[in-house]
Amino acid sequence: MTTLKDIAKELGLSPATVSRALNGFPEVGARTRATVEEAAERMGYRPNPLAKKLVSGRSGMIGLVLKPDGSSQADPTLHEIMFGLSDQLAQRDMDLVFHASSSDDLLEPYKRLLDKNILDGFILNAPEEDDPRIRFLQERDVPFVVHGRAAGHDYAYYDIDNRGLARDSVDLLLNLGHRRIALLNGQAGRSYAQDREAGYRDAMGRAGLTVPEFAVQYGPANEDHGYTKGLALLSGRFGPRPTAIFCVSTPVAAGLYRAAQDIGLSIPGDLSVIAHDDAVPQMRAVNFEPALTVTRSPLRDACKPLAAKMEALLKGAPADILQTLAPVDLIARNSTGPVPTEGETPW
């Protein structure tokens, strides 16, 4: 293993000069720099990041803490984020330190990792309203970037326009004449679920429609939830059944498709379905039968900005300029159609 000193000795220079030459400082002579670079290359020099961090305070390691989410199925979402993030961080010469926390105490893993004193920052996902992790990291002055965003956000984040996409989705359904539009939402505390609900209520309100309590159903964004809550909604148990349903994710829509089939309703004849599509590879909206109308924003797309923001943050950029709210495309396919004639009366 060649060190800075080795190169210095080899060239009869001081370690200081070699360090500066390799780090592009302006005060080092052109000839010297060339010599040093050549020698470094030739001797296969790799800086030791530990030593670097010891003096500079940077290790290039970024933490990601996830909850096992015991109940539900293996979340393809996490898979997508982890692989994408690792890839994008690597391209910026950072690495992902992954931690699965089974602990009840949300903050415990963060404390543990921070104690080790080896991480430069954290990526957080799925924030909740007034998330304790965010407060904690802010107090300790640890750099972090959030995927998603909760209210009162004075930190770096990347989020999609959840409120807007919900509005757009509902507007599309309204334009098709639907009035009884339900929302199969994600888990109640999550900010993305709240934002989408707000957008849904915006659109419904603007159309002068009231939203009965049962029209919004919460739960984990998976197929089971779509099936059971879909069944409940379509059974007529709550009153006249919705003619259109906006789903928080494609797996939820898949469950809803099954429920509709079991009940004998045709899509889009009896029921229009629209969903938000995270574009995970194993659940492709085009392969639905009929093909699913969606608002689409690939989870993968989030990884690059997240990594870039982290990089900028570590370089000293202020968090408040590192905020992105990405717009979302609406792709109309075959799961949405005009309201059936007998279903035009609002709730």
Q: Which of residues 7-26 bind DNA (CB under 7 A)?
A: 12-17, 19-20, 22-23
CB of 116 to its own copies, least distance (A): 5
98, 236, 237, 239: which one contacts its own copies (CB under 8 A)? 98
CB of 149 to its own copies, least distance (A): 25
CA R_g for the chain: 26
Six-digit token string for 44: 């296969």
Interface with its own copies includes 281 (CB under 8 A)? Answer: yes
CB of 120 to DNA, least distance (A): 15
42, 52, 111, 140: which one contacts DNA (CB under 7 A)? 52
| Contact partners, residue 257, CB within 8 Å, separation at least 6 | 267, 273, 288, 289
Q: Could you count the other beta carbons within 10 Å of the beta carbon of residue 219?
A: 19
Cα 125 to chain centroid, rounded:
6
Interface with DNA includes 341 (CB under 7 A)? Answer: no
CB of 195 to DNA, least distance (A): 41
Decide: helix, strand or coil at residue 128.
strand
Interface with its own copies includes 261 (CB under 8 A)? Answer: no
Strands 216-217 and 244-247: unpaired
CB of 184 to its own copies, least distance (A): 20
12, 27, 50, 213: which one contacts its own copies (CB under 8 A)? 50
Cα 190 to chain centroid, rounded:
12
Q: Alpha helices of 107-219 — where are they, by DSSP H?
A: 108-116, 132-140, 162-175, 191-206
Of the pair 33, 79, the CB lying nearest its own copies is at 79
Please work out, in degrees rounded to the nearest 5, the angle formed at the alpha carbon of residue 323 by the alpha carbons of 318 and 328: 170
90 contacts which partner out of DNA, its own copies, none, CB within 5 to 8 A by kind? its own copies
Q: Which of residues 108-137 bind its own copies (CB under 8 A)?
A: 109, 112-113, 115-118
CB of 143 to DNA, least distance (A): 17
Interface with DNA includes 38 (CB under 7 A)? Answer: no
By CB under 7 A, how many residues form the interface with DNA?
Answer: 29
Interface with DNA includes 42 (CB under 7 A)? Answer: no
Q: Could you count the other beta carbons within 10 Å of the beta carbon of residue 168?
A: 19
Interface with DNA includes 118 (CB under 7 A)? Answer: no
28 contacts which partner out of its own copies, DNA, none, CB within 5 to 8 A by kind? DNA
Alpha-carbon span 171 to 323, nearest angstrom: 27
Which range binds DNA by CB under 7 A, 51-59, 153-161, 250-258, 296-304? 51-59
Stretch (H or E) spanning 122: strand 121-125
Interface with its own copies includes 221 (CB under 8 A)? Answer: no
Residue 273's nearest CA partner among 330, 337, 180, 328 is 337
Six-digit token string for 154: 């004075």
Alpha-carbon span 57 to 59, nearest angstrom: 7
Contact 274, 246 (CB under 8 A): yes
The conformational region for residue 148 under phi > 0 = left, psi -120 to 50 = alpha, else beta, is left
Q: Which residues bind DNA (CB under 7 A)?
A: 1, 3-5, 12-17, 19-20, 22-23, 27-32, 45-48, 51-52, 54-56
- The residue ranges that bind its own copies (CB under 8 A) are 1, 46, 48-51, 53-54, 59-61, 66, 68, 70, 73-76, 78-80, 82-84, 86-87, 90, 95-100, 102, 109, 112-113, 115-118, 280-282
